[in-house]
Amino acid sequence: MMMRRSGASGLLTLLGLALVIAACSRSGSSGSGGTAPPPVPVTVATAVSKPMPVELRAIGTVQPSNSVTVRARVGGILAQVHFREGQDVKEGDVLFTLDGGPLEAELRQAQANLARSQAQLNNARKDAERYTELARQGFVAQQQADQAQTAAASLEATVRADQAVVENARIQRGYATIRAPIAGRTGALLVHEGDLIKVSDTPMVVLNQIRPVDIAFALPERELPEIRARSAEGSLHVSAQAPQSSRPLGEGRLTFIDNRVDQVTGTIQLKASFPNQEGGLWPGQFVNVVLTLATDPAATVVPTPAVQMGQSGRYVFVVAPDQTAELRQVSVAREVGQETVIASGVSPGETVVTDGQLRLVPGAKVDARPAGQTVEAQAPAAGSPRR
């Protein structure tokens, strides 16, 4: 009985070894045969040739085209304020009224002095006429006639001086009404009714002209030669955009190039004028400035997402006619919004990958999808070559 159990146990062992060997054989055969990996789904677009602007970008500051700090030309008590803070005013609008009582009194005094001088002049002229006639008849000496004429001439000068005093007093009284020297927007009120206003010493309000406005910005000095050359051909277009959203805020023209380069920063200061009729630009605001120098009539353009950054620089994946991915190193000229101008590496008409590059390797089969569809990015499979 013992011999029979031992033989049965050995037979079972042999059968188990045979099954293991068969399984290993099947595993080896399946690995050696292999199947090609499925195509990688990607989104593609076509490189095109089209006109593209040559632009320079900078950060600018909005400035009022004109700014005036309103001060009084005569002293007195502020009687009335005629505007609200932040109100738009026109040139000549009344802003403040000072107490004009003292100025009115000075005017009346000057007018009274003028009337007295005119009365004295009338009498002196009559005396001069009488003495001239008497001297002609020989009743008085010629010296007396000359003295009468001199007195009349002196009073004529006194009348002219008094007339100037009256005119000055009238002007001073007019200064009690303070008007807007320019059209603009009023700032915070710096004085209040009842305040004592001193001559040219008390700032009352600041007027900023915001239609039009200026935007000041700086560019590297290496751009100066081309800016000067292009501006000599005609006025250059400048656009302003919101810093966060790239929302357009206005269109203007380059109006000023500074006469020196800042040696500390190596930049040149420029200024552009904007009509700002919609009021989208505000003094003190920071904006993105785009200066357009020219237009490239036949630039090679691809969507910006197609351009990737690798260890060797920028590259794109181009879909070959056999639907395989080809890695191309490219030279980028500039970016304009969501489009990139390619200086070299891609030709118009070639198909580039815009989404799904993370799963691609050179030579991989691709499943090209039209632009507008997104491809979920996945990590490269283990053992895939790294770029």
The CA-atom distances, in angstroms, between 278 and each of 183, 232, 247 are 16, 30, 14
Distance between CA atoms of residues 275 and 318, nearest Å: 45
Longest CA span, the chain: 192
Rounded to the nearest 10 degrees, the angle between the axes of helix 142-174 and helix 101-137 is: 160
Distance between CA atoms of residues 41 and 68, nearest Å: 64
Q: Would residue 194 be called left, alpha or beta, if left means φ above 0 and alpha means ψ between -120 and 50 degrees?
A: left
User: Which residues lie below 8 Å from residue 324, measured CB to CB, with a gap of 6+?
Assistant: 363, 364, 365, 366
The CA-atom distances, in angstroms, between 139 and each of 129, 131, 147, 151, 372 are 14, 9, 15, 20, 119
What pLDDT, on a 0 to 100 scale, did the predictor assign at position 370?
76
Q: What is the pTM of this model?
A: 0.68
Helix (H, G, I), strand (E, B) or coil at 206: strand
Distance between CA atoms of residues 32 and 288, nearest Å: 60
- CA torsion 375-377-378-381 (nearest 10°) is 80
What pLDDT, on a 0 to 100 scale, did the predictor assign at position 387?
40
What pLDDT, on a 0 to 100 scale, did the predictor assign at position 37?
82
Q: Are strands 308-310 and 248-262 parallel, antiparallel or unpaired?
A: unpaired
- Number of neighbours of residue 182 by Cβ within 10 angstroms: 17
Full pLDDT tens readout for the chain, 387 residues: 444 444 444 444 444 444 444 444 444 444 444 577 889 999 999 999 999 999 999 999 999 999 999 999 999 999 999 999 999 999 999 999 999 999 999 999 999 999 999 999 999 999 999 989 898 888 888 998 899 999 999 999 999 999 999 999 999 999 999 999 999 999 999 999 999 999 988 899 999 999 999 999 999 999 999 999 999 999 999 999 998 877 889 999 999 999 999 999 999 999 999 999 988 999 999 999 999 999 999 999 999 999 999 998 999 999 999 999 999 999 998 888 789 999 999 999 999 999 999 999 999 999 988 765 555 544 444 334 444
